[in-house]
């Protein structure tokens, strides 16, 4: 991926009834399209359209249902000139999404859920986000066992990269993602953020998806110890964005674009030591 002047902002449109923070809000096709356009107005560089919830414990949707949710939204946003990515673990969905205009494939399973994915991405010639993943949502909690999370995530990502390269995806199309919250407990997520430089040593751009995740709410409990709800963790998300951008992240994936678009600009000015 080309080096960008600043960290990119990927805005999320979950066309699902059950995603963790925005499930049901953009399930209707027109609402999803309007929301994608609004995210661009707020400063999103890319809009990530997904049709399958990956919240812990979520059941899978059928291929037909996933296609019906994402393809019309991607086609409509592409017609409006919006750069769209598709958030899917299925090669057939990635293929249909690219045909509908998607410019990037974001695969939370890093190719593990569907072994045909890398080949589809290679043929499509689009960037491929390979996320660290250990299993589907219904049992990912049991897989959150690490002796040294940064070393293990790094090694497992490096193995995924080898396989993806062997399937023909060019090196310069690969983006890596530590997969915050996916088979990770809060302490694992913080270790991975603190260890971003060790992940960057693999030599690929990094995407960070911390937005509204539970580990932020757990860090900021109310006076009675109850974790803060995701609906009030957008400020914490923007703080992670500023720090991740300053640490060299290529892109952040966020639900509320405005404050995060500001945060990446602040980080860029800080890094440059100037506003231009
Ligand atoms: N997180 C979610 C969905 N897709 N994609 C990438 N690359 N990285 C992530 O961390 C990620 C993702 C889950 O978030 P949501 O369901 O709350 O949008």
Query: Is residue 171 included in any domain, yes or no?
Result: yes
Query: Is residue 256 included in any domain, yes or no?
Result: yes
Predicted local confidence at residue 5, as pLDDT: 87
Q: Residue 85: phi, psi to the nearest 5?
A: -115, 160
Instruction: Give the integer Cα–Cα distance in Å for 114 and 4.
Output: 30
| Residue 14 CB–ligand 1 contact under 6 Å | yes
Query: Is residue 1 included in any domain, yes or no?
Result: no
Query: Is residue 3 included in any domain, yes or no?
Result: no
**What spacing in Å lies between the alpha carbon of 23 and ligand 1's midpoint?**
13
Mutate-to-test residue for ligand 1 from 108, 112, 188, highest number of ligand atoms within 8 A of CB: 108
- Give 64: exposed, middle or buried? Use CB within 10 Å, 0-12, 13-18, 19+: exposed
Q: What is the pLDDT of residues 60-118, one digit of tens each?
A: 899 999 999 999 999 999 999 999 999 999 999 999 999 999 999 999 999 999 999 99
Q: What are the structure tokens assigned to 10, written together?
A: 């990927």
Predicted local confidence at residue 57, as pLDDT: 74
**Predicted TM-score (pTM) of this structure:** 0.96
Instruction: Give the integer Cα–Cα distance in Å for 123 and 160.
Output: 18
CB-based contact 253:275 (threshold 8 Å): no
Question: Cβ of 69: how many Cβ atoms within 10 Å?
Answer: 24
Residues of the chain with pLDDT under 50: none
Q: Annotate 177-202 with three-state secondary structure.
A: ECCCCCCCCHHHHHHHHHCHHHHHCC
Nearest-10 crossing angle of helices 234-246, 186-194 = 30
Length of the chain: 276
**Closest atom of ligand 1 relative to the 20 alpha carbon:** 17
Q: Domain containing 261: what range?
A: 8-274
Query: Is residue 104 included in any domain, yes or no?
Result: yes
Q: Total structural domains in the chain?
A: 1
Nearest-10 crossing angle of helices 63-79, 91-99 = 20
Query: Is residue 121 included in any domain, yes or no?
Result: yes
| Residue 21 CB–ligand 1 contact under 6 Å | yes
Predicted local confidence at residue 244, as pLDDT: 98
**What spacing in Å lies between the alpha carbon of 211 and ligand 1's midpoint?**
8
Nearest-10 crossing angle of helices 63-79, 29-41 = 40
Query: Is residue 2 included in any domain, yes or no?
Result: no
Which CATH number covers residue 203? 3.20.20.20
Residues labelled as active-site residues = 213, 253
Query: Is residue 23 included in any domain, yes or no?
Result: yes
């Amino acid at each position: 991926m080309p080096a960008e002047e600043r960290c990119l902002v990927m805005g999320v449109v979950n066309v699902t009834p059950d995603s963790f923070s925005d499930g049901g809000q953009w399930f209707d096709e027109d609402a999803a399209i309007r929301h994608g356009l609004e995210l661009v107005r707020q400063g999103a560089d890319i809009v990530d359209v997904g049709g399958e919830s990956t919240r812990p414990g979520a059941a899978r949707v059928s291929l037909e249902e996933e296609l019906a949710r994402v393809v019309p939204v991607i086609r409509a946003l592409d017609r409006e000139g919006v750069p769209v990515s598709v958030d899917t673990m299925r090669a057939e969905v990635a293929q249909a999404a690219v045909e509908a205009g998607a410019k990037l494939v974001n695969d939370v399973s890093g190719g593990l859920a569907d072994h045909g994915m890398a080949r589809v991405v290679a043929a499509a010639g689009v960037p491929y986000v390979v996320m660290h993943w250990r299993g589907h949502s219904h049992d990912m909690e049991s897989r959150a066992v690490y002796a040294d999370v940064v070393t293990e995530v790094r090694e497992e990502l490096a193995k995924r990269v080898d396989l993806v390269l062997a399937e023909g995806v060019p090196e310069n199309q690969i983006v890596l993602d530590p997969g915050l919250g996916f088979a990770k407990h809060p302490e694992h997520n913080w270790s991975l953020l603190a260890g971003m430089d060790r992940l960057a040593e693999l030599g690929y751009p990094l995407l960070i998806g911390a937005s509204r995740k539970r580990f932020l709410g757990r860090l900021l409990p109310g006076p009675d110890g109850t974790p803060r709800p995701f609906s009030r963790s957008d400020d914490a998300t923007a703080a992670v964005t500023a720090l991740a951008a300053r640490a060299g992240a290529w892109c952040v994936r966020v639900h509320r674009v405005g404050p995060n678009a500001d945060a990446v600009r602040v980080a860029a000015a800080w890094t440059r030591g100037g506003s231009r």
